[in-house]
């Protein structure tokens, strides 16, 4: 499983650029980045890293950044981790809609469905659907702590 980190940052111009630049300088590929406003003046950024990395050194650098309020590593033991997949099916492909998918819209002979699951399950679903020429897109991973804490 890729490393997933979640951080709370101050809403300021250039914060995401500085964070991704720090990760780049450590020679680590970023799979996904998800960011959203969570409170006045604060955003949450969730980053899925492409390969395992020692987060202690990277985390020390995050902690030194004046834009980062708090960061944490997300694991299945400490967080619920989910990702969203959207897929577009033609009329001929409609029978490929998985039982775990939810149809969200039907329009002009097209069916749009969503699938939510752990990132590895989303990877598998994308491979399955793309092998049948279904158009897919995904959102980045999100993590929510199982216990109270964080920001």
7-52 pLDDT per residue, tens: 999 999 999 999 999 999 888 889 899 999 999 999 999 999 887 7
Question: 40, exposed or middle or buried, with CB in 10 Å at 0-12, 13-18, 19+?
Answer: exposed
pLDDT band at 150; cut points 50, 70, 90: low
Cβ 47 vs Cβ 30: under 8 Å: yes
Element (H, E) at 106: strand 102-107
**Mean pLDDT throughout 115-134?**
95
151: pLDDT strictly greater than 60: no
Task: Find, among 43, 35, 33, 36, the residue nearest to 9 by Cα.
Answer: 43
């Amino acid at each position: 499983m890729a490393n997933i980190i979640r951080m709370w940052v101050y809403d300021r111009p250039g914060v995401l650029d500085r964070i991704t630049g720090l990760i780049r300088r450590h020679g680590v590929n970023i799979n996904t980045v998800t960011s959203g406003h969570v409170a006045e003046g604060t955003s949450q950024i969730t980053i899925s890293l492409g390969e395992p990395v020692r987060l202690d050194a990277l985390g020390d650098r995050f902690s030194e950044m004046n834009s980062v309020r708090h960061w944490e590593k997300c694991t299945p033991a400490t967080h619920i981790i989910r990702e969203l997949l959207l897929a577009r099916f033609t009329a001929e492909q409609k029978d490929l809609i998985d039982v775990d998918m939810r149809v969200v819209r039907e329009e002009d002979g097209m069916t749009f469905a969503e699938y939510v699951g752990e990132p590895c399950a989303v990877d598998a679903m994308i491979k399955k659907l793309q092998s049948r020429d279904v158009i897919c897109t995904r959102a980045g991973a999100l993590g929510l702590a199982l216990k109270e804490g964080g920001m």
